[in-house]
Structure 1
Amino acid sequence: MLLFVFGLITLSVLGTKGDKDALLYRVDISLPPVEGRDETADILSIKKTVKGLTGVDVLFSFKELGNPKIVLVLDVEKACSWPQLTGYLSSQGYVFSVEALYHCSDYAQELGVNIPKDMWATSFGDEELIIDVNTFPVKELSTLEYNNQMKWKFERDMDILNSGQKGACFRTLAGFPVQLMYFAPVNSSGIDAIEEFVHAAGNLVSEITQIQNLEYYTGQC
């Protein structure tokens, strides 16, 4: 996944007016190792600060399991809302990166597959969760073959959602290769099913990261 230095991309990303969801972003926040740092206190402070931002709707917030890293999906109403977040993160010395997103339902619609947005989850409970980032290399595929591959992927997603599996999905705004980012609750059998699906899909690279819902994070065992 491409990681961008926030200060270099703010103007170009926030200036993308053509896409209807151009103000959706993934923000990764890492806490570099510092002597005496209270990791739990820092994460709880970020959690509280982000919830209090004006003009920024927190769609999802997670913490990577075993790592001092937070993953946010934000809906930003106006570009001028950003300094609230960036000023705070910079003042604390955190390392952060930003990636523009749009909803998978919008991309699927472009391909002729109708996945209503209300089929995707808008929240998760205190359960085992993963981020599954799927990258689809172009290789020797024609445009038609590539689009058909993506259509098949979303048709498969429909089957999974109709079976009762919860999940949320976003596409990175970059053009190609297409990269889809899924959030979903999963157990060991679920991970096995994902791996089986990845092998069946063939032209797909999957990167799975275990996460927990930041809403329920307390730092206590």
Structure 2
Amino acid sequence: MFILFVGLLTLSCLPRSVLGSDDERDARLYRVDITLPPKEGRDETADIMQIKATVEGLTDIKVLFSFKEVGNPKVLLVLDVEKACSWPQLTTFLSRKGYEVKTTPVYYCSDYARELGVNMTRDMYASSLKDDEDLLFGRQIFHVKDLTTAEFDEKMKQMFVREKVILEAGQRGACFRTLASLPVELINFSPISPSRVDAMGEILHGPEIYDVELTRMQNLAHYSQGCQG
């Protein structure tokens, strides 16, 4: 279960010349999914609160976002590992608790959009979301299928053109791309609202073949109760 974590720890401890320059910060962004498996006598609220306290106490790891899935014992983090060999603060705690953990390298959607030729900056997306907001987590997987690379890239480009217009109109949200070639996987977080649902329907006219998974989340900083309405 922690083989991937060991690999990341090894990578983070390599010399800077191997990892790349300080400008290549996207290589140190990670999505971390933590699931609390069923266990007799488990106090889910206490465990989630302990994860929250541990995350808040990390050094040399910047927590960009931290969420709790509503109705399920799952935590999702987006981390910027700012200093080499800083993983053990988190991994030692998680392994000792016996949680199920999946770690995925990611990078900013705005960087991906620029690769496609869309002039987007990182500050167009939200760097934080309010603690007390109802949040929507979206996972989108776009398949190439019968499209050529050029056709696929053009459809993704036009999707980000529409996204840019919506963001410039005031819609808030955060977006990251999984660091893998294909299929293209995007994850995004935004406040739940009728306008956001409508916006997602408008944006998702990218490549015709795609999967969408939506989950209600709450900001981990706001988590305090075991039972959520």
Give me the TM-score of the superposition, normalised by structure 2: 0.87
Distance apart, 1:213 and its partner CA:
0.6
Alignment of 1:104-143 (within 5 A): 104-125=109-130, 126-143=132-149
Tell me if the contact between 1:4 and 1:99 (Cα under 8 Å) persists in the aligned partners.
no
Q: Which residue identity does 1:121 align to in structure 2?
A: A
1:152/1:26 CA distance change after superposition, 3 Å: same
Aligned partners of 2:3, 2:162: CA distance in 1, in Å?
Answer: 35
SS of match in other structure, 1:79: coil
Distance apart, 1:193 and its partner CA:
4.8
Deviates more, 1:114-123 or 1:9-18: 9-18
Is 1:65 the counterpart of 2:95 in the alignment? Answer: no
Distance apart, 1:203 and its partner CA:
2.9
Aligned partners of 2:2, 2:152: CA distance in 1, in Å?
Answer: 27
1:28/1:134 CA distance change after superposition, 3 Å: same
SS of match in other structure, 2:140: strand
User: Which of residues 145, 150, 157 in structure 2 aligns to 1:144?
Assistant: 150
Aligned partners of 1:78, 1:72: CA distance in 2, in Å?
Answer: 17
Tell me if the contact between 1:5 and 1:96 (Cα under 8 Å) persists in the aligned partners.
no
SS of match in other structure, 1:81: coil
Aligned partners of 2:44, 2:61: CA distance in 1, in Å?
Answer: 24
1:144-169 C-alpha deviation (Å, 9 max, x unpaired):
10110110111011011012110111
1:216/1:44 CA distance change after superposition, 3 Å: same
Q: Which residue identity does 1:214 align to in structure 2?
A: L
Alignment of 1:61-210 (within 5 A): 61-125=66-130, 126-188=132-194, 190-191=196-197, 193-195=199-201, 197-198=203-204, 200-201=205-206, 202-210=208-216
Is 1:31 the counterpart of 2:29 in the alignment? Answer: no
Tell me if the contact between 1:13 and 1:100 (Cα under 8 Å) persists in the aligned partners.
no
Q: Which residue identity does 1:181 align to in structure 2?
A: I
Distance apart, 1:20 and its partner CA:
3.8
Distance apart, 1:192 and its partner CA:
5.2
Q: Which residue identity does 1:10 align to in structure 2?
A: L
SS of match in other structure, 1:80: coil
Unaligned runs of 5+ in 2: none
Q: Which residue identity does 1:6 align to in structure 2?
A: L
Tell me if the contact between 2:9 and 2:85 (Cα under 8 Å) persists in the aligned partners.
no
CA RMSD for the aligned pairs? 2.1
Aligned partners of 2:65, 2:25: CA distance in 1, in Å?
Answer: 19
Q: Which residue identity does 2:79 align to in structure 1?
A: L
Distance apart, 1:190 and its partner CA:
3.5
Deviates more, 1:58-67 or 1:71-80: 71-80
Distance apart, 1:79 and its partner CA:
3.4
SS of match in other structure, 2:87: helix
Q: Which residue identity does 2:190 align to in structure 1?
A: A
Distance apart, 1:17 and its partner CA:
2.9
1:74-94 C-alpha deviation (Å, 9 max, x unpaired):
000133100110000011111
Q: Which residue identity does 1:100 align to in structure 2?
A: P
1:197/1:114 CA distance change after superposition, 3 Å: closer
Q: Which residue identity does 2:4 align to in structure 1?
A: F
